[in-house]
Structure 1
């Protein structure tokens, strides 16, 4: 009986974690046979002249680690000499505006009145009441992570997944990257079926 009571408590964090994840989108080549792909290699970004390159090294290593972990769960392995699939990623952080609506309530107040029948004063309490919404816009940073898989032999894009989520700064943290990669690769299971 105690086990039955504990099940909702154990399932609630899982439901909350899945419900809070950013939505991910996937496009795939229907003609591609994913059962024959078992190895992959990363395509390096050749944009070395950008002065922000050193700052992006951390984000690059975090993306590689997170994607490698997800692909290894699927039974894939990294092979730089003769890969079946070439993988690249793109991480874009830009400013966006988000509309927010906040409920507005009146202030509670008391009114004092005189009762001539009893010859004394009384108090009436008026609680706060809902008056509507206050709409405003806020500027936020949104990060879009796109992961692309290309067939190494045909140079044809076979799978692409992306997600957009609110981030804290232009330098996306490791936790935010892992969350985004996890959201994208939850859809990767559909490809194998």
Structure 2
């Protein structure tokens, strides 16, 4: 019973965690020379509404950095979305902690046998990758990656997308 209560308390904490975000850049790239960008590849395969929210969030972040969307810009932006199924196993033990063979190392039969119950929890993990390439050299200059458990609640998905993109661009070079 205590184990179920603890699990019930931990699940909301895990569900409210922020996306894991990593960012990488080419240190030789001159970001001050970039003023325009274009979408070489918009996200596909997920919900069209979520895909559009990703594009809108990236556009807003780049506009805030002073960049302008153009038909052929200085930088090509490509976004990829993928999901994968994961699972966790939670095992709860009941019975006396002195069960089994021996008791505190003195030998002899234990005080009783406990039981173990294992529950399988399936969940989906989503990954968003945003790549930027110098349009002239076609070399990668920046990459942001965000990973998060996917909620079935559209409001939570929107919040996760917003948090992920905002955190990716928090230290974007200028």
Q: From the two aligned structures, give the one with the greater strand fraction.
A: 1
Q: Which has the larger radius of gyration?
A: 1
Give the aligned partner of residue 173 of structure 1.
Answer: 157
Out of 52, 55, 65, the position equivalent to 2:56 is 65
Matched, 1:74 2:65: yes
Distance (whole Å) between structure 1 residues aligned to residue 166 and residue 92 of structure 2 = 31
Give the TM-score of the pair, scaled to structure 2: 0.66
Out of 29, 32, 37, the position equivalent to 1:35 is 32
Distance (whole Å) between structure 1 residues aligned to residue 53 and residue 37 of structure 2 = 17
Matched, 1:88 2:78: yes
Distance (whole Å) between structure 2 residues aligned to residue 100 and residue 35 of structure 1 = 50
1:39 shift after superposition: 0.5
Matched, 1:142 2:125: yes
Relative to 1, partners in 2 of residues 1:31 and 1:96: Cα closer, same or farther, differing over 3 Å? same
8 Å CA contact 2:74, 2:136 repeated in 1: yes
1:139 shift after superposition: 1.6
Distance (whole Å) between structure 2 residues aligned to residue 98 and residue 26 of structure 1 = 27
Distance (whole Å) between structure 2 residues aligned to residue 74 and residue 96 of structure 1 = 36
1:57 shift after superposition: 2.7
Gaps of 5+ in 1: 1-18, 48-52, 107-133
Can you list the C-alpha shifts for 1:127-146, whole angstroms capped at 9, x where unaligned? xxxxxxx9855221111000
Relative to 1, partners in 2 of residues 1:74 and 1:95: Cα closer, same or farther, differing over 3 Å? same
1:96 shift after superposition: 1.2
SS at match of 1:173: helix
Give the aligned partner of residue 97 of structure 1.
Answer: 87
Distance (whole Å) between structure 1 residues aligned to residue 64 and residue 56 of structure 2 = 12
Give the aligned partner of residue 114 of structure 2.
Answer: none
Q: CA RMSD in A?
A: 3.3
Distance (whole Å) between structure 1 residues aligned to residue 64 and residue 31 of structure 2 = 15
Give the aligned partner of residue 127 of structure 1.
Answer: none
Displacement over 4 Å in runs of 4+: 99-104, 134-137
